[in-house]
Amino acid sequence: QSALTQPPSVSGSPGQSVTISCTGTSSDVGSYNRVSWYQQPPGTAPKLMIYEVSNRPSGVPDRFSGSKSGNTASLTISGLQAEDEADYYCSLYSSSSTPFVLFGGGTKLTVL
Amino acid sequence: QLQLQESGPGLVKPSETLSVTCTVSGGSMISTTYYWGWLRQPPGKGLEWIGSIYYSGNTYYNPSLKSRVTISVDTSKKKLSLKLTSVTAADTALYYCARLMPISGMAFDPWGQGTLVTVSS
């Protein structure tokens, strides 16, 4: 299995919206809905932001939303805030005969 | 609230075995609804899944590490363990433990704060 593909960096100004893509193949992202997104500010552990493509855990602002189309999942952050500046990682849990977890390479979000 | 805390040796010599432990507090490990996992992050790089262990005791490992990894759980002591044999400099990383929940699509939540293990002579 190959890692999922994310853009290395994205940026936006406060109040704007940004979208981070996560591209896989028809065998992984295209076949499974167990896509999750994690936020990792500098020097901290990752935090779950989205699970099963578009569900938000309790406490995650509704400015964060997820979607999927074909082999690409996306994380959209609307109303950007300075505190959103972090690395973001997508992940896929593949429930094949032998469960496997894939991660994207990560995307650095800069709030201008 | 469930909390996870990793602990490790800090420094391991090449070719030796890396052992890291994760202590769970604020909740039970004994549940058919919880699975547990280990992940790592080399300095300045991305996340990598090492493996997971299910309540049944079944373990699943990243194929790239499978020959060197053992994950186990001691529910009575509320500890999750990771052993990685024959380490090299490429195994230098921040090692995280995390819970997986089927109800959350097998997402990792929460994570421990991580423990840095450096492989060097």
pLDDT at A12 over 90: yes
Using a CB–CB cutoff of 8 Å, tell me whether B62 touches chain A.
Answer: yes
How many residues are listed for chain A in this entry? 112
Residue A78's pLDDT is 98
| pLDDT above 90 as % of chain A | 85
Residue B30's pLDDT is 74
Residue B7's pLDDT is 97
Pair of tokens at residue B104: 């959350």
Question: Quick one: how far is CA A83 from the chain centroid?
Answer: 17
- pLDDT, tens digit, for every residue of A60-92? 999 999 999 999 999 999 999 999 999 999 999
Number of C-beta neighbours around residue B54 at 10 A:
17
Contact flag A101-B46 (C-beta cutoff 8 Å) = no
Eight-state DSSP code of residue B81: E
Residue A56's pLDDT is 97
Question: Which stretches of chain B drop beneath a pLDDT of 50?
Answer: none
| Dist CA A77 CA B114 (whole Å) | 27
| Dist CA B108 CA B80 (whole Å) | 15
Pick the closest to residue B51 from B39, B42, B41 (CA basis). Answer: B39
Q: Of the segments A10-14, A28-32, B30-34, which one has the largest average pLDDT value? A: A10-14
Considering CB atoms only, which of B62, B100, B109 is closest to A57?
B109
Residue B54's pLDDT is 85
Which one has a higher pLDDT value, B78 or A46?
A: A46
Residue B34's pLDDT is 79
Which residues of chain A approach chain B closer than 8 Å at the C-beta?
Answer: 1, 3, 33-36, 38, 44-48, 51-52, 55, 57, 89, 91, 93, 95, 98-106
Q: Determine whether B55 is exposed, middle or buried from the number of CB atoms within 10 Å of its CB (0-12, 13-18, 19+).
A: middle
How many residues are listed for chain B in this entry? 121
Band of residue A1 on the pLDDT scale cut at 50, 70, 90: low
Residue A110's pLDDT is 97
